[in-house]
């Protein structure tokens, strides 16, 4: 938990899902210079004479140090070689605001929790609040979803109340609000549980979800909403990302994320992309 400008935020959690090792990057560099025999890693030396089999491939991927890569990274600044190493991170609990910042880093693969497919619970709470509930019912339900990076309950109640007001406005301008908010197979619940908001909410939650429900409702949420994502960087792009986003000039939420990503990145990669402090 961190307090920034009077608002408390939760920090993201990060796990390194996979990393491809630095051995392939050294093999690529040695290919450029035809200098396999100069490697301190025996398996790299062997590449000069044989095509790698599965055992050699595994040994290449297990390499922990490379003098050549260190020289290329810090003496000659030949960073294109680092593009042969890749790391994938699972990120949970960062914000949509951070997602916008992330998109500015061109060279990455990114898969993000979709608001098109994952907003059903919020919409179900609103539909139930219209059928026997009220604004307080909606706010209480959504508070339990833990959907914001902000953790102040009073502030989050304001956020949720704004969502309610936006949805209530939409009911006045859409001819058949339920047609865009409730799956066809769940429509009978509206009559079955009329004036029983709790039962209606439970039935909608257990029933079929409206496909792409977020298409009609993406406008209701703010940059405060939590997102989960998997991102894959090559090592050169990760160097650029961590250099820029661990800076004090960076948006504080993406700085937190960069610091967590750095924390779970093995030293064999960090040694090639982060300048050691003397």
Q: Residue 38 is part of a domain; what is its CATH number?
A: 3.30.1360.170
Query: 108 and 141: one domain?
Result: no
Q: b/e for 81-114, b at 16 or more Cβ within 10 A?
A: bbebbbbbbebebbbbbbbebbeebeeeeeebbe
For residue 226, being part of any structural domain is answered with no
Task: Read off the pLDDT of residues 176-235 as tens digits, 9 standing for 90 and up.
Answer: 999 999 999 999 999 999 999 999 999 999 999 888 898 999 999 999 999 999 999 999
Which residue among 198, 220, 242 closes a domain? Answer: 220
Task: Read off the pLDDT of residues 56-105 as tens digits, 9 standing for 90 and up.
Answer: 999 999 999 999 999 999 999 999 999 999 999 999 999 999 998 888 88
For residue 227, being part of any structural domain is answered with no
Query: 198 and 251: one domain?
Result: no
pTM: 0.92
* pLDDT at residue 278 is higher than 60: no
For 126, 155, 210, 218, the CA distances from 201, given in Å and listed in that order, are: 9, 24, 14, 20
Domain count, the chain: 2
């Amino acid at each position: 938990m961190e307090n920034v400008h009077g608002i408390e935020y939760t920090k993201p959690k990060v796990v390194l899902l996979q990393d491809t090792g630095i051995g392939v990057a050294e093999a690529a560099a040695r290919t450029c210079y035809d200098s396999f025999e100069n490697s301190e890693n025996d398996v790299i030396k062997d590449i000069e004479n044989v095509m790698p089999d599965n055992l050699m491939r595994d040994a290449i991927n297990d390499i922990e140090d490379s003098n050549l890569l260190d020289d290329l990274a810090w003496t000659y600044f030949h960073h294109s070689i680092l593009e042969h190493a890749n790391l994938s991170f699972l990120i949970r609990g960062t914000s949509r605001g951070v997602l916008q910042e992330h998109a500015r880093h061109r060279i990455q693969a990114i898969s993000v929790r979709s608001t098109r497919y994952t907003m059903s619970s919020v919409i179900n709470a609103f539909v139930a609040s219209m059928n026997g509930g009220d604004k307080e019912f909606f706010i209480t339900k959504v508070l339990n979803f833990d959907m914001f990076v902000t953790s102040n309950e009073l502030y989050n109640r304001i956020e949720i109340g704004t969502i309610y007001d936006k949805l209530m406005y939409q009911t006045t301008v859409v001819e058949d609000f339920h047609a865009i908010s409730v799956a066809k197979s769940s429509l009978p619940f509206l009559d079955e549980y009329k004036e029983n908001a709790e039962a209606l909410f439970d039935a909608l939650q257990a029933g079929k979800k409206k496909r792409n429900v977020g298409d009609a409702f993406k406008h209701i949420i703010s940059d405060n909403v939590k997102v989960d994502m998997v991102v894959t960087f090559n090592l050169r792009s990760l160097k650029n990302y961590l250099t820029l986003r661990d800076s004090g000039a960076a948006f504080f939420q993406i700085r937190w994320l960069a610091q967590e990503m750095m924390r779970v990145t093995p030293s064999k990669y960090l040694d090639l992309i982060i300048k050691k402090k003397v």
